[in-house]
Structure 1
Amino acid sequence: MYSVSDLTLLEAIGVVSFALSGAYAAIQRKMDVFGVLILAFTAACGGGILRDVVMDRGIPAFFSNYRAAALVCASVAAVAVFPGLFRTGLFVTALDAVGLAFFSVDAGLKAMALDYSLMQFLFSAVITGVGGGVLRDVMAQRVPVIFRNDIYATAAIAGCLFMWYVRRVIGIEYASLCALVIIAAVRVSTAYFGVNLPVMKVSPREK
Protein backbone atom coordinates (compact mmCIF):
# COMPACT_ATOMS: atom_id res chain seq x y z
CA MET A 1 0.00 0.00 0.00
CA TYR A 2 1.39 3.35 -1.12
CA SER A 3 4.76 1.63 -1.60
CA VAL A 4 7.54 3.09 -3.70
CA SER A 5 10.41 0.64 -3.22
CA ASP A 6 11.72 0.97 0.37
CA LEU A 7 10.42 4.54 0.70
CA THR A 8 6.64 4.75 0.90
CA LEU A 9 4.83 7.34 -1.18
CA LEU A 10 3.52 8.94 2.00
CA GLU A 11 7.05 9.27 3.36
CA ALA A 12 8.35 10.62 0.05
CA ILE A 13 5.74 13.40 -0.04
CA GLY A 14 6.39 14.19 3.62
CA VAL A 15 10.15 14.32 3.02
CA VAL A 16 9.81 16.77 0.12
CA SER A 17 7.36 19.02 1.99
CA PHE A 18 9.44 19.27 5.15
CA ALA A 19 12.72 19.53 3.23
CA LEU A 20 11.36 22.55 1.35
CA SER A 21 10.19 24.21 4.57
CA GLY A 22 13.49 23.40 6.30
CA ALA A 23 15.56 24.81 3.46
CA TYR A 24 13.47 27.99 3.41
CA ALA A 25 13.81 28.40 7.19
CA ALA A 26 17.59 28.04 6.87
CA ILE A 27 17.74 30.65 4.11
CA GLN A 28 15.66 33.01 6.26
CA ARG A 29 18.24 32.61 9.02
CA LYS A 30 21.00 33.36 6.49
CA MET A 31 22.73 29.98 6.86
CA ASP A 32 25.36 28.83 4.38
CA VAL A 33 24.83 25.97 1.91
CA PHE A 34 25.88 23.34 4.44
CA GLY A 35 23.47 24.77 7.02
CA VAL A 36 20.63 24.77 4.50
CA LEU A 37 21.25 21.10 3.67
CA ILE A 38 21.47 20.09 7.33
CA LEU A 39 18.29 21.92 8.30
CA ALA A 40 16.43 20.55 5.27
CA PHE A 41 17.52 16.99 6.09
CA THR A 42 16.66 17.42 9.78
CA ALA A 43 13.19 18.75 9.00
CA ALA A 44 12.55 16.07 6.38
CA CYS A 45 13.85 13.04 8.25
CA GLY A 46 13.68 14.04 11.92
CA GLY A 47 10.13 12.78 12.39
CA GLY A 48 10.88 9.45 10.74
CA ILE A 49 14.00 8.99 12.84
CA LEU A 50 12.01 9.67 16.01
CA ARG A 51 9.38 7.20 14.81
CA ASP A 52 11.93 4.43 14.33
CA VAL A 53 13.43 5.11 17.76
CA VAL A 54 10.01 5.11 19.46
CA MET A 55 8.99 1.93 17.62
CA ASP A 56 12.32 0.29 18.51
CA ARG A 57 13.09 -0.54 14.88
CA GLY A 58 16.87 -0.42 15.30
CA ILE A 59 18.93 1.96 13.20
CA PRO A 60 16.51 4.52 11.67
CA ALA A 61 15.68 3.71 8.05
CA PHE A 62 16.54 7.21 6.80
CA PHE A 63 20.24 6.66 7.59
CA SER A 64 20.42 4.00 4.89
CA ASN A 65 17.82 5.40 2.51
CA TYR A 66 19.53 7.16 -0.38
CA ARG A 67 16.24 8.05 -2.03
CA ALA A 68 15.34 10.24 0.94
CA ALA A 69 18.71 12.00 0.73
CA ALA A 70 18.20 12.55 -3.01
CA LEU A 71 14.75 14.02 -2.39
CA VAL A 72 16.17 16.40 0.21
CA CYS A 73 18.90 17.59 -2.17
CA ALA A 74 16.37 18.06 -4.97
CA SER A 75 14.14 20.06 -2.61
CA VAL A 76 17.03 22.34 -1.62
CA ALA A 77 17.79 22.91 -5.29
CA ALA A 78 14.13 23.78 -5.92
CA VAL A 79 14.21 26.41 -3.16
CA ALA A 80 17.35 27.92 -4.69
CA VAL A 81 15.87 27.99 -8.21
CA PHE A 82 12.35 29.17 -7.28
CA PRO A 83 12.75 31.37 -4.19
CA GLY A 84 9.76 33.51 -5.17
CA LEU A 85 7.35 30.71 -4.34
CA PHE A 86 8.20 31.01 -0.66
CA ARG A 87 7.32 34.68 -0.30
CA THR A 88 3.71 33.72 0.38
CA GLY A 89 3.25 32.74 4.01
CA LEU A 90 0.28 30.49 3.21
CA PHE A 91 2.41 28.47 0.77
CA VAL A 92 4.96 27.75 3.49
CA THR A 93 2.15 26.83 5.88
CA ALA A 94 0.70 24.51 3.24
CA LEU A 95 4.05 22.75 2.86
CA ASP A 96 4.23 22.28 6.61
CA ALA A 97 0.64 20.98 6.65
CA VAL A 98 1.36 18.44 3.91
CA GLY A 99 4.44 17.16 5.72
CA LEU A 100 2.52 16.95 9.00
CA ALA A 101 -0.36 15.06 7.39
CA PHE A 102 1.65 12.56 5.37
CA PHE A 103 4.14 11.71 8.11
CA SER A 104 1.42 11.36 10.75
CA VAL A 105 -0.72 9.06 8.61
CA ASP A 106 2.26 7.01 7.44
CA ALA A 107 3.39 6.42 11.02
CA GLY A 108 -0.18 5.67 12.03
CA LEU A 109 -0.47 2.99 9.35
CA LYS A 110 2.77 1.41 10.52
CA ALA A 111 1.59 1.51 14.14
CA MET A 112 -1.71 -0.19 13.25
CA ALA A 113 0.16 -2.85 11.29
CA LEU A 114 2.04 -3.63 14.51
CA ASP A 115 -1.24 -3.86 16.48
CA TYR A 116 -0.44 -0.88 18.69
CA SER A 117 -2.98 0.26 21.25
CA LEU A 118 -4.75 3.60 20.74
CA MET A 119 -2.33 5.53 22.96
CA GLN A 120 0.73 3.90 21.35
CA PHE A 121 -0.73 4.60 17.91
CA LEU A 122 -1.44 8.25 18.69
CA PHE A 123 1.96 8.88 20.26
CA SER A 124 3.85 7.27 17.36
CA ALA A 125 1.81 9.07 14.71
CA VAL A 126 1.88 12.52 16.27
CA ILE A 127 5.56 12.46 17.33
CA THR A 128 6.44 11.50 13.76
CA GLY A 129 4.28 14.24 12.27
CA VAL A 130 5.55 17.07 14.47
CA GLY A 131 9.10 15.83 15.10
CA GLY A 132 10.71 17.22 11.96
CA GLY A 133 9.10 20.62 12.41
CA VAL A 134 10.16 20.84 16.05
CA LEU A 135 13.78 19.96 15.26
CA ARG A 136 13.76 22.44 12.36
CA ASP A 137 12.50 25.28 14.54
CA VAL A 138 14.92 24.50 17.39
CA MET A 139 17.91 24.45 15.03
CA ALA A 140 16.68 27.67 13.39
CA GLN A 141 16.45 29.25 16.87
CA ARG A 142 12.69 29.69 16.67
CA VAL A 143 9.98 28.72 19.15
CA PRO A 144 8.65 25.38 17.78
CA VAL A 145 5.27 25.78 16.15
CA ILE A 146 3.61 23.24 18.47
CA PHE A 147 4.56 25.39 21.48
CA ARG A 148 2.88 28.44 20.01
CA ASN A 149 -0.87 28.92 19.83
CA ASP A 150 -1.16 27.51 16.31
CA ILE A 151 -3.39 24.48 15.60
CA TYR A 152 -0.63 21.99 14.74
CA ALA A 153 -0.34 18.84 16.82
CA THR A 154 -4.09 19.13 17.45
CA ALA A 155 -4.70 18.75 13.72
CA ALA A 156 -2.61 15.57 13.65
CA ILE A 157 -4.46 14.16 16.66
CA ALA A 158 -7.85 14.88 15.07
CA GLY A 159 -6.97 13.22 11.77
CA CYS A 160 -5.35 10.19 13.39
CA LEU A 161 -8.28 9.64 15.75
CA PHE A 162 -10.61 9.75 12.75
CA MET A 163 -8.49 7.13 10.98
CA TRP A 164 -8.38 4.92 14.06
CA TYR A 165 -12.14 4.86 14.67
CA VAL A 166 -13.43 4.91 11.09
CA ARG A 167 -11.05 2.39 9.48
CA ARG A 168 -13.31 -0.55 10.36
CA VAL A 169 -16.30 1.18 8.75
CA ILE A 170 -14.91 2.47 5.44
CA GLY A 171 -11.63 0.54 5.20
CA ILE A 172 -8.08 1.55 6.03
CA GLU A 173 -7.32 3.07 2.61
CA TYR A 174 -10.28 5.46 2.61
CA ALA A 175 -9.80 6.22 6.30
CA SER A 176 -6.14 7.14 5.75
CA LEU A 177 -6.99 9.32 2.74
CA CYS A 178 -9.64 11.14 4.76
CA ALA A 179 -7.15 11.57 7.61
CA LEU A 180 -4.67 13.19 5.22
CA VAL A 181 -7.29 15.69 4.11
CA ILE A 182 -8.46 16.40 7.65
CA ILE A 183 -4.97 17.10 9.01
CA ALA A 184 -3.88 19.30 6.11
CA ALA A 185 -7.20 21.13 5.88
CA VAL A 186 -7.38 21.85 9.61
CA ARG A 187 -3.80 23.11 9.68
CA VAL A 188 -4.13 25.38 6.62
CA SER A 189 -7.64 26.69 7.31
CA THR A 190 -6.92 27.56 10.95
CA ALA A 191 -3.73 29.34 9.92
CA TYR A 192 -5.55 31.23 7.16
CA PHE A 193 -8.44 32.35 9.38
CA GLY A 194 -6.25 32.97 12.42
CA VAL A 195 -7.92 30.34 14.60
CA ASN A 196 -5.64 29.47 17.51
CA LEU A 197 -5.70 27.58 20.76
CA PRO A 198 -6.26 29.78 23.82
CA VAL A 199 -3.13 31.10 25.51
CA MET A 200 -2.90 30.75 29.26
CA LYS A 201 -2.13 34.01 31.01
CA VAL A 202 -1.09 34.60 34.59
CA SER A 203 -1.73 37.98 36.12
CA PRO A 204 1.41 39.58 37.56
CA ARG A 205 1.57 39.60 41.33
CA GLU A 206 1.03 42.91 42.99
CA LYS A 207 4.05 44.25 44.82
Structure 2
Amino acid sequence: MNDINILEYLGIFAFAASGAHVAIEEKFDLFGIYILATVTAMGGGVLRDIVTDVGIPLFFENYTTIPFIILGATIPVILRGKLKYNNMFVIIDAIGLSAFSVSSGIKALESGYNLMLFLFATSITGVGGGVLRDIITNRKPEIFKTDVYCIACILGSILLWFLYPLLGTHVSQHISLIVIFSIRMICYIKKINLPVIHKN
Protein backbone atom coordinates (compact mmCIF):
# COMPACT_ATOMS: atom_id res chain seq x y z
CA MET A 1 0.00 0.00 0.00
CA ASN A 2 1.51 3.35 -1.05
CA ASP A 3 1.03 6.73 0.57
CA ILE A 4 -1.67 7.81 -1.91
CA ASN A 5 -3.74 4.74 -1.03
CA ILE A 6 -3.45 5.56 2.68
CA LEU A 7 -4.63 9.11 2.06
CA GLU A 8 -7.51 7.83 -0.08
CA TYR A 9 -8.70 5.62 2.77
CA LEU A 10 -8.60 8.61 5.12
CA GLY A 11 -10.67 10.50 2.56
CA ILE A 12 -13.19 7.67 2.28
CA PHE A 13 -13.54 7.70 6.06
CA ALA A 14 -14.07 11.49 6.13
CA PHE A 15 -16.53 11.52 3.22
CA ALA A 16 -18.52 8.66 4.78
CA ALA A 17 -18.64 10.56 8.06
CA SER A 18 -19.88 13.70 6.33
CA GLY A 19 -22.58 11.70 4.53
CA ALA A 20 -23.72 10.14 7.80
CA HIS A 21 -23.66 13.53 9.53
CA VAL A 22 -25.95 15.03 6.87
CA ALA A 23 -28.21 11.96 6.94
CA ILE A 24 -28.67 12.31 10.71
CA GLU A 25 -29.47 16.01 10.30
CA GLU A 26 -32.09 15.07 7.70
CA LYS A 27 -33.57 12.40 10.03
CA PHE A 28 -32.73 9.39 7.82
CA ASP A 29 -33.21 5.95 9.35
CA LEU A 30 -30.20 3.72 10.05
CA PHE A 31 -30.26 2.13 6.60
CA GLY A 32 -30.47 5.56 4.97
CA ILE A 33 -27.52 6.80 7.02
CA TYR A 34 -25.22 4.04 5.75
CA ILE A 35 -26.46 4.38 2.18
CA LEU A 36 -25.84 8.14 2.15
CA ALA A 37 -22.42 7.60 3.72
CA THR A 38 -21.55 5.14 0.95
CA VAL A 39 -22.82 7.43 -1.79
CA THR A 40 -20.81 10.34 -0.39
CA ALA A 41 -17.62 8.29 -0.04
CA MET A 42 -17.70 6.46 -3.38
CA GLY A 43 -20.18 8.28 -5.61
CA GLY A 44 -17.56 10.40 -7.36
CA GLY A 45 -15.45 7.40 -8.31
CA VAL A 46 -18.47 5.49 -9.59
CA LEU A 47 -19.57 8.47 -11.73
CA ARG A 48 -16.03 8.77 -13.12
CA ASP A 49 -15.87 5.09 -14.05
CA ILE A 50 -19.29 5.19 -15.73
CA VAL A 51 -18.52 8.26 -17.84
CA THR A 52 -15.03 7.09 -18.82
CA ASP A 53 -16.44 3.65 -19.71
CA VAL A 54 -13.86 1.56 -17.88
CA GLY A 55 -16.31 -1.26 -17.25
CA ILE A 56 -17.64 -2.20 -13.82
CA PRO A 57 -16.84 0.67 -11.40
CA LEU A 58 -13.89 -0.11 -9.17
CA PHE A 59 -16.01 0.19 -6.02
CA PHE A 60 -17.94 -2.96 -6.97
CA GLU A 61 -14.74 -4.97 -7.49
CA ASN A 62 -12.64 -3.80 -4.55
CA TYR A 63 -14.04 -4.45 -1.06
CA THR A 64 -11.18 -2.86 0.89
CA THR A 65 -13.05 0.46 1.15
CA ILE A 66 -16.06 -1.01 2.96
CA PRO A 67 -14.55 -1.11 6.50
CA PHE A 68 -13.59 2.58 6.21
CA ILE A 69 -17.10 3.50 5.05
CA ILE A 70 -18.68 1.55 7.91
CA LEU A 71 -16.33 3.12 10.46
CA GLY A 72 -16.83 6.62 9.07
CA ALA A 73 -20.62 6.24 9.15
CA THR A 74 -20.76 4.57 12.57
CA ILE A 75 -18.88 7.25 14.51
CA PRO A 76 -21.50 9.99 13.85
CA VAL A 77 -24.24 7.47 14.73
CA ILE A 78 -22.61 6.67 18.09
CA LEU A 79 -21.70 10.28 18.87
CA ARG A 80 -24.85 11.87 17.45
CA GLY A 81 -25.48 15.25 19.00
CA LYS A 82 -21.91 15.36 20.34
CA LEU A 83 -19.91 15.20 17.11
CA LYS A 84 -19.52 18.37 15.09
CA TYR A 85 -18.07 18.46 11.61
CA ASN A 86 -15.08 20.28 13.05
CA ASN A 87 -11.56 21.17 11.98
CA MET A 88 -10.29 17.62 12.35
CA PHE A 89 -12.82 16.34 9.81
CA VAL A 90 -12.13 19.28 7.49
CA ILE A 91 -8.42 18.40 7.52
CA ILE A 92 -9.12 14.72 6.82
CA ASP A 93 -11.64 15.73 4.16
CA ALA A 94 -9.03 17.97 2.50
CA ILE A 95 -6.57 15.08 2.54
CA GLY A 96 -9.18 12.86 0.90
CA LEU A 97 -10.00 15.49 -1.73
CA SER A 98 -6.30 15.81 -2.55
CA ALA A 99 -5.67 12.08 -2.67
CA PHE A 100 -8.78 11.29 -4.74
CA SER A 101 -8.00 14.04 -7.24
CA VAL A 102 -4.32 13.17 -7.64
CA SER A 103 -4.71 9.39 -7.79
CA SER A 104 -7.47 9.79 -10.36
CA GLY A 105 -5.31 12.27 -12.26
CA ILE A 106 -2.34 9.89 -12.42
CA LYS A 107 -4.58 7.11 -13.75
CA ALA A 108 -6.05 9.54 -16.32
CA LEU A 109 -2.59 10.60 -17.49
CA GLU A 110 -1.44 7.00 -17.78
CA SER A 111 -4.58 6.26 -19.84
CA GLY A 112 -3.79 9.09 -22.26
CA TYR A 113 -6.85 11.24 -21.51
CA ASN A 114 -7.03 14.69 -23.10
CA LEU A 115 -7.08 17.75 -20.83
CA MET A 116 -10.87 18.10 -20.61
CA LEU A 117 -11.45 14.43 -19.75
CA PHE A 118 -8.51 14.56 -17.34
CA LEU A 119 -10.03 17.53 -15.49
CA PHE A 120 -13.45 15.85 -15.43
CA ALA A 121 -11.98 12.65 -13.97
CA THR A 122 -10.07 14.45 -11.23
CA SER A 123 -12.89 16.83 -10.32
CA ILE A 124 -15.78 14.38 -10.30
CA THR A 125 -13.78 11.90 -8.21
CA GLY A 126 -13.08 14.56 -5.59
CA VAL A 127 -16.46 16.29 -5.37
CA GLY A 128 -19.02 14.01 -7.05
CA GLY A 129 -19.97 12.13 -3.89
CA GLY A 130 -20.74 15.34 -2.02
CA VAL A 131 -22.87 16.64 -4.88
CA LEU A 132 -24.86 13.38 -4.97
CA ARG A 133 -25.26 13.56 -1.18
CA ASP A 134 -26.74 17.05 -1.42
CA ILE A 135 -29.03 16.14 -4.34
CA ILE A 136 -30.39 13.11 -2.49
CA THR A 137 -31.10 15.24 0.60
CA ASN A 138 -32.66 17.99 -1.55
CA ARG A 139 -29.99 20.53 -0.69
CA LYS A 140 -28.22 22.96 -2.97
CA PRO A 141 -24.75 21.43 -3.46
CA GLU A 142 -22.37 23.07 -1.03
CA ILE A 143 -19.57 23.35 -3.60
CA PHE A 144 -21.71 25.83 -5.55
CA LYS A 145 -22.48 28.01 -2.53
CA THR A 146 -19.52 28.05 -0.17
CA ASP A 147 -15.96 26.79 0.11
CA VAL A 148 -13.16 26.92 -2.44
CA TYR A 149 -13.34 23.16 -2.91
CA CYS A 150 -13.65 22.09 -6.53
CA ILE A 151 -11.51 25.08 -7.57
CA ALA A 152 -8.68 23.75 -5.36
CA CYS A 153 -9.03 20.38 -7.09
CA ILE A 154 -8.95 21.95 -10.58
CA LEU A 155 -5.92 24.14 -9.85
CA GLY A 156 -3.94 21.26 -8.37
CA SER A 157 -4.93 18.98 -11.24
CA ILE A 158 -3.81 21.51 -13.88
CA LEU A 159 -0.48 21.72 -12.08
CA LEU A 160 -0.24 17.92 -12.16
CA TRP A 161 -1.00 17.94 -15.91
CA PHE A 162 2.00 20.19 -16.63
CA LEU A 163 4.43 18.76 -14.07
CA TYR A 164 3.86 15.07 -14.86
CA PRO A 165 5.83 14.98 -18.14
CA LEU A 166 8.61 17.10 -16.64
CA LEU A 167 9.10 15.59 -13.18
CA GLY A 168 7.49 12.15 -13.38
CA THR A 169 4.85 10.53 -11.22
CA HIS A 170 6.36 10.66 -7.74
CA VAL A 171 7.38 14.32 -7.56
CA SER A 172 4.45 15.75 -9.53
CA GLN A 173 1.80 13.89 -7.51
CA HIS A 174 3.21 15.09 -4.19
CA ILE A 175 3.44 18.70 -5.33
CA SER A 176 -0.17 18.52 -6.56
CA LEU A 177 -1.28 16.94 -3.27
CA ILE A 178 0.29 19.75 -1.27
CA VAL A 179 -1.19 22.45 -3.51
CA ILE A 180 -4.77 21.09 -3.36
CA PHE A 181 -4.60 20.55 0.40
CA SER A 182 -3.06 23.99 1.02
CA ILE A 183 -5.59 25.88 -1.11
CA ARG A 184 -8.49 24.07 0.54
CA MET A 185 -7.25 24.65 4.09
CA ILE A 186 -6.13 28.28 3.60
CA CYS A 187 -9.49 29.19 2.09
CA TYR A 188 -11.31 27.38 4.92
CA ILE A 189 -9.28 29.02 7.68
CA LYS A 190 -9.39 32.49 6.11
CA LYS A 191 -13.05 32.02 5.09
CA ILE A 192 -12.24 32.82 1.46
CA ASN A 193 -15.11 32.11 -0.94
CA LEU A 194 -15.89 32.94 -4.51
CA PRO A 195 -18.22 35.95 -4.90
CA VAL A 196 -21.96 35.31 -5.06
CA ILE A 197 -23.77 37.27 -7.76
CA HIS A 198 -26.97 38.75 -6.33
CA LYS A 199 -29.99 39.56 -8.45
CA ASN A 200 -30.16 43.17 -7.25
**TM-score normalised over the length of structure 2:** 0.88
Among 185, 190, 196, which residue is 1:193 paired with?
Answer: 190
CA distance in 2, matches of 1:96, 1:14: 6
Would the aligned equivalents of 2:100 and 2:125 in 1 still touch at CA under 8 Å? yes
Would the aligned equivalents of 1:20 and 1:95 in 2 still touch at CA under 8 Å? no
Matched with 1:126 is: 123
Shift of the 99–139 alpha-carbon distance from structure 1 to 2, 3 Å rule, reads: farther
Matched with 1:2 is: 2
Would the aligned equivalents of 2:148 and 2:192 in 1 still touch at CA under 8 Å? yes
1:21-53, Cα deviation, whole Å (9 max, x unpaired): 111221222222111101110001101101111
Would the aligned equivalents of 2:10 and 2:92 in 1 still touch at CA under 8 Å? no
Query: Which region of structure 1 is more displaced relative to structure 2, 73-82 or 121-130?
Result: 73-82
Matched with 1:90 is: 87
CA distance in 2, matches of 1:37, 1:165: 39
Matched with 1:179 is: 176
Matched with 1:71 is: 68
Q: Does residue 27 of the first structure (1) align with residue 24 of the second (2)? A: yes
Equivalent pairs counted in the alignment come to 200
Matched with 1:59 is: 56
Among 96, 115, 131, which residue is 2:112 paired with?
Answer: 115
Cα drift, residue 150 of structure 1: 2.1
Matched-pair identity in %: 40
SS class of match (2:192)? coil
CA distance in 2, matches of 1:115, 1:10: 24
1:171-194, Cα deviation, whole Å (9 max, x unpaired): 211211121221122112212211
Cα drift, residue 82 of structure 1: 4.9
**TM-score normalised over the length of structure 1:** 0.86
Matched with 2:40 is: 43
Structure with higher Rg: it is 1
Q: Which runs of 5+ in 2 are unaligned?
A: none
Cα drift, residue 196 of structure 1: 0.7
Shift of the 88–71 alpha-carbon distance from structure 1 to 2, 3 Å rule, reads: closer
Counterpart residue identity of residue 199, structure 2: V
